[in-house]
């Protein structure tokens, strides 16, 4: 006699088997529909004589991009042009996230201040920034920058060799070489080492219960790698001085008004949201915690740092992730004010090649990948700061 579990009809009534079956059917359905749509689109595009495929990525782009972190000129391929766009998107997003977090933390804490003036100002800041669409702010900041600052030929010079105009901020720069990159890498390694050393000492203090002077070791860990790199690689210090030309100021490093307007627009608008997240996080920590830590003799600042913020972070980090994600995605509004981000480069590419579906597929894929990377990082961080239930 067959066991009940192995009979095929009985198997269908098994809850676990059914669960798996449903999932297989669902996945097959999604994949099938996707496959059908893809095939259909390809076929119909071919019938209408519309070029398809990604072969165009190898062709020379033939246009210039005004800001680039990798070597690029108009003879390079579309693929490289898109890479330039991706870097520009990441560049402005990183700065905007740092700016929004800093401002958000300050304003969020200021909202809870006992000083009515300060808390009212913070309230106004939040409401003014939160309730107007970002695009309008971008237009506003950009109009302010190019309207308030003088044209390049009448550039202000707040410091010698520093020029401020509606063509951007221009400061002297070092002529960059491989040796400089090595020093930069060493400096980053130094920061990492400093953190590691500090961590080791903290653990030892926890274990032994004895306090010990830490800062000389940390400082040494921080400075040793870059100093060593300077000695070994011997970078030369040739300064690239800005020079007034007929139209522009050449040489030095230029921070364009498009970048500044986008950074300020993205950073400030997101900071209003973060301020509210921070405030909610702090308020979520019960009054009892404040009272308890005061009664054990901690000062207000220590209470905030050691008791309240660690508990508030649990509440803060998940919505903070959303805020970072939207900052990253909103950077695509750059095109309205002329910052050469991924969307702008894709736009130009799509218009020159006429291959819109491929272009959109690429930038959706890039945004998706980057967003997932941000989410994963923030989830990892969240898991680290989440209070361990005991």
Partner 1 sequence: MNLTIKTWATLGLLAAASAVFASPAYAQATLDAVKKRGKILCGVSPSSAGYSYADDKGVRKGFDSDVCRAVSSAVFGAPDKVEFVPLNTNIRFQALQSGEIDVLSRQTTMTFSRDNSLGLDFGPVVFYDGQGLMVNSKLGVKSASELSQAAICLLPGTTTLQNLEDYFKPRGIKYESVVFEDNNEWRNAFFSGRCDVITTDRSDLASVRAVANDPKQFVILPETISKEPLAPVVRQNDSNWKDIVSWSVYTLIAAEEYGITQANVDEKLQSKEPEVQRMLGVSGDLGKMLNLDNKWAYNIIKQNGNYGELFERSLGEKTPLGLTRGPNQLWTKGGLLYSPPFR
Quick check: 124 binds partner 1 (CB under 8 A)?
A: no
Total residues contacting partner 1 by CB under 8 A comes to 57
One character per residue 133-172, x = contact with partner 1 (rule: CB under 8 A): --x---x--xx--xx--xxx-------------xx-----
Quick check: 53 binds partner 1 (CB under 8 A)?
A: no
Q: Which stretch binds partner 1 (CB under 8 A): 193-201, 229-237, 266-274, 344-352?
A: 344-352
CB of 336 to partner 1, least distance (A): 4
Burial letters 178-188, b for 16+ CB under 10 A, else e: eebebbeebbe
Quick check: 326 binds partner 1 (CB under 8 A)?
A: no
335, 347 Cβ separation under 8 angstroms? yes
Quick check: 337 binds partner 1 (CB under 8 A)?
A: yes
44-51, long-range: CB < 8 A, 24+ apart: 45/357, 50/354, 51/353, 51/354, 51/355
82, 72 Cβ separation under 8 angstroms? no
Hey, which residues does 239 pair with through a beta bridge? 174
CB of 189 to partner 1, least distance (A): 35
Place of tokens 């390809």: 42
* 3-state secondary structure labels for all residues of 267-301: HHHHHHHHHHHHHHHHHCCCHHHHHHHHHCCCCHH
Q: Which stretch binds partner 1 (CB under 8 A): 110-118, 215-223, 225-233, 337-345?
A: 337-345
Tokens representing residue 381 in the block: 């961080």
Q: Which residues contact 53 (CB under 8 A, 6 or more apart)?
A: 358
Quick check: 371 binds partner 1 (CB under 8 A)?
A: no
66, 50 Cβ separation under 8 angstroms? no
Quick check: 253 binds partner 1 (CB under 8 A)?
A: no
Quick check: 344 binds partner 1 (CB under 8 A)?
A: yes
Q: Which stretch binds partner 1 (CB under 8 A): 33-41, 94-102, 169-177, 221-229?
A: 33-41
| C-beta closer to partner 1: residue 64 or 232 | 64
Q: Which residues bind partner 1 (CB under 8 A)?
A: 37, 40-41, 44-45, 47-51, 62-66, 74, 135, 139, 142-143, 146-147, 150-152, 166-167, 245-248, 250, 256-258, 332-333, 335-338, 340, 343-344, 346-348, 350-354, 356-357, 359-360, 363
């Amino acid at each position: 006699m067959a066991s009940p579990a192995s009979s095929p009809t009985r198997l269908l009534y098994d809850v676990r088997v059914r669960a798996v079956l449903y999932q297989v059917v669902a996945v097959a359905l999604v994949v099938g529909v996707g496959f059908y749509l893809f095939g259909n689109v390809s076929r119909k595009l071919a019938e209408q004589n519309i070029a398809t495929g990604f072969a165009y990525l190898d062709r020379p782009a033939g246009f210039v991009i005004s800001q680039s972190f990798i070597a690029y000129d108009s003879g390079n391929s579309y693929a490289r042009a898109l890479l330039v766009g991706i870097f520009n998107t990441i560049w402005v997003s990183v700065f905007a996230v740092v700016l929004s977090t800093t401002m958000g933390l300050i304003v969020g804490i200021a909202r809870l201040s006992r000083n009515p003036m300060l808390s009212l100002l913070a309230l106004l800041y939040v409401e003014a920034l939160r309730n107007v669409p970002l695009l309008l702010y971008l237009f506003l900041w950009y109009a302010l920058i190019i309207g308030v600052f003088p044209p390049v030929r009448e550039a202000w010079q707040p410091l010698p060799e520093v020029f401020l105009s509606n063509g951007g901020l221009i400061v002297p720069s070092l002529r960059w070489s491989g040796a400089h990159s090595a020093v930069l890498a060493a400096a980053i390694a130094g920061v990492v080492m400093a953190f590691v050393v500090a961590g080791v000492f903290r653990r030892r203090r926890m274990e032994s219960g004895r306090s010990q002077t830490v800062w000389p070791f940390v400082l040494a860990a921080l400075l040793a790698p870059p100093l060593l790199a300077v000695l070994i690689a011997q970078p030369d210090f040739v300064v690239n001085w800005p020079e007034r030309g007929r139209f522009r100021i050449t040489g030095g490093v230029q921070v364009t008004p498009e970048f500044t307007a986008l950074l300020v627009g993205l950073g400030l608008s997101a900071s209003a949201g973060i301020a509210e997240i921070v405030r909610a996080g702090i308020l979520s920590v019960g009054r009892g915690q404040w009272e308890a830590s005061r009664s054990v003799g901690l000062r207000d600042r220590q209470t905030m740092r050691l008791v309240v913020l660690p508990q508030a972070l649990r509440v803060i980090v998940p919505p903070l992730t959303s805020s970072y994600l939207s900052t990253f995605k909103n950077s695509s509004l750059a095109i309205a004010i002329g910052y050469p981000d991924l969307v702008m480069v894709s736009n130009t590419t799509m218009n020159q090649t006429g291959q819109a579906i491929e272009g959109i597929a690429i930038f959706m894929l890039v945004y998706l990948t980057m967003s997932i990377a941000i989410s994963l990082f923030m989830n990892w961080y969240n898991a680290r700061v989440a209070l361990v239930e005991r």
